[in-house]
Amino acid sequence: MTRTPPNVVSIAGVDPSGGAGVLADIKTFSALGAYGCGIVTALTAQNTQAVTGMHTPPVAFLRLQIDTLFADVKLAAVKLGMLGTADVVATVADRLAHFDAPFVVCDPVMVAKSGDHLLAKNAVAMLIEALLPQSFMITPNLPEAGVLLEQRPPESVKEMYRAAERLRDMLPLSSERWVLLKGGHLPGAEVVDLLFDGDRMIELPSPRIETKNTHGTGCTLSSAIAALLPQHAGAQLRAQVRALRPVEAAVRDARNYLLRAIASADALAVGRGHGPVHHFHTVWPRQHT
């Protein structure tokens, strides 16, 4: 009996270079066995070097996109990326609550790789108040954690522990919720992420891969988690015993996918700045050895 791929939606901005945002998310969903849908929150004029412009469509049209899709397609998970403004955050939060959206993975996109700001300052409070309570998992990097907690970013793994605990306190305490705090901004040959559910703090170390082509790593990781969460949850229902709990298994598999995508990034030739990771590294045949 063939298992139907889960339908997963990205609610995010559009990066025309394809390295981040909705386009990268749908590539990731597809590579990991999920059917990808996309809802556009913002349009950017962007390449691998800079963001030169941004346009936010009317929130009434954003609401129409969400309502129309959710009314027809049974969605197994939602990935949230670039939201941009307080009005967009409020609209997304309102409609997700209305549809009781499952497995909401919130990547609090605030700054592009180029340094351009992608979330208005007045939108941060709205995100904390209206959207984090609906998120099953949040995936901030260290600068984003600093903004959410109104403090300087963690500067060590020890400080990351305390930040992850405080971030988990911002999510509902009465149900299963997770924080994935990404440690890639710390120096060193090893990158350590922390996965925390309020009970267990799981260290996830990995070697740092030396390449400039890391555009969209945060988008890719969060969308990989969104694609894998319903698949691992379904596997848990069908199996009596698993070595890992489904959320931890999904995150570990998502990180492994991203690491291989980064390691394969130099096989692409996209732009002259920070190029994208290779989302289809396991699908496309190698043209060069």
Which residues are designated catalytic? Answer: 182, 214, 216-219
Q: How many other CB atoms are there within 10 angstroms of residue 123's CB atom?
A: 21
Residue 170 to residue 206: CA distance in whole angstroms: 27
35 class by beta-carbon count within 10 Å (0-12 exposed, 13-18 middle, 19+ buried) = middle
Angle at 23 between CA 144 and CA 221, to 5 degrees: 45
Q: How many other CB atoms are there within 10 angstroms of residue 6's CB atom?
A: 24
Residue 198 to residue 219: CA distance in whole angstroms: 24
Alpha helices (H) in 78-120, listed in sequence order:
86-99
Nearest to 23 by CA among 201, 280, 289: 280
Residue 88 to residue 71: CA distance in whole angstroms: 20
Contact 109, 81 (CB under 8 A): yes
Q: How far is CA 118 from the centre of its chain?
A: 15
The identity of residue 40, as a single letter, is V
101 class by beta-carbon count within 10 Å (0-12 exposed, 13-18 middle, 19+ buried) = buried
Residue 141 to residue 153: CA distance in whole angstroms: 9
Residue bearing tokens 């945060």:
218
The identity of residue 4, as a single letter, is T
